[in-house]
Amino acid sequence: MRAARALLAELFPFVAALAVWQALSAANVWPRVLFPPPLEVAQTFAADLASGVLLVNLGVSLKSLLLGFAVGCAVAVPLGYLMGLSRASRNFFDPLVNLLQAIPGLAWIPFAILWFGLGQGAVTFIIVMSVFFPVLHNLLTGIRMVQPVLIEAVRTLGANRGDVIRHVIFPATLPNLMTGIRLGIAFGFRSLVGGEMIASTDGLGYAIFNAQQYFQSARIVVGMLTIGIVWLAMDRLILRPIEQRTTMRWGLVREGLEQA
């Protein structure tokens, strides 16, 4: 009963948005090609799902996104801890990182195509460049925010440098790392769609772009909604449970500030 209620509360905002969308479509203010109605989008969604096109595109895009995200994090996370914990490496890398981080991932498209050719290799490279900086930047902020008194306390309990990193720095930086990961994935999605529109011939971004060429506006919406649903699933099934088990449980992060 309570679970059913929670599900209803969860679905309500989507139902409300759908109702507004339907009402606006029914008012017939704009032609269908400019503002496709929910039913047409649902039919297209079902058709693309049945034909397998949608899942193939989704699979291609998810592979690029996850690979790009993994590579980006695999470089950014160790580099972040290295820069945060060693002045020499910070002094060396900080100017380079600052120079590069203002350059959008999409600006790498020309080189990505030259180096990897048209296709998902180029897209993955762009995603790596997009994921890398938000993860690194947030991790560095997290390291700067570690309370010195926690480090001092464990050192008077006999902790060496490795113990401090493992028992203080890692858990203390987790909230910021999670923020970095969220931003990294969000930036990754932007680059995925942008990259596939220009540098690829498959994937969700390409499908959106291609649908526009044929005025299949419902199919554009299907592509957009699929990205939204995939992100929502990642957030609810992976990121939130991690946070609920760690940073929220430790009292480092709250749901909100209703009492304010």
Q: Does the footprint of other proteins cover residue 47 (CB under 8 A)? A: no
Q: How far is the CB of 180 from other proteins (least distance, A)?
A: 18
Choose between 142 and 194: whose C-beta lies nearer to other proteins. 142
Choose between 91 and 160: whose C-beta lies nearer to other proteins. 160
CA 217 – CA 3 distance, rounded (Å): 36
Q: Does the footprint of other proteins cover residue 89 (CB under 8 A)? A: no
Instruction: Convert 131-165 to b/e letters by CB count within 10 Å (16 or more is b).
Output: bbbbbbbbbbbbbeebeeeebeeeeeeebeeeebe
Q: How far is the CB of 7 from other proteins (least distance, A)?
A: 29
Binding other proteins by CB under 8 A: which of 158, 255, 259, 260? 158
Q: Does the footprint of other proteins cover residue 253 (CB under 8 A)? A: no
Binding other proteins by CB under 8 A: which of 59, 104, 121, 171? 171
- Cβ count near 172 (within 10 Å): 19
Contacts of 101 (CB under 8 A, 6+ apart): 133, 136, 137
Q: Are 60 and 120 in contact (CB under 8 A)?
A: yes
Q: Does the footprint of other proteins cover residue 167 (CB under 8 A)? A: yes
Helix (H, G, I), strand (E, B) or coil at 102: coil
Summarize as ranges the residues that interact with other proteins (CB under 8 A).
Answer: 147, 149-150, 152-159, 163, 167-168, 171-172, 246, 249-252
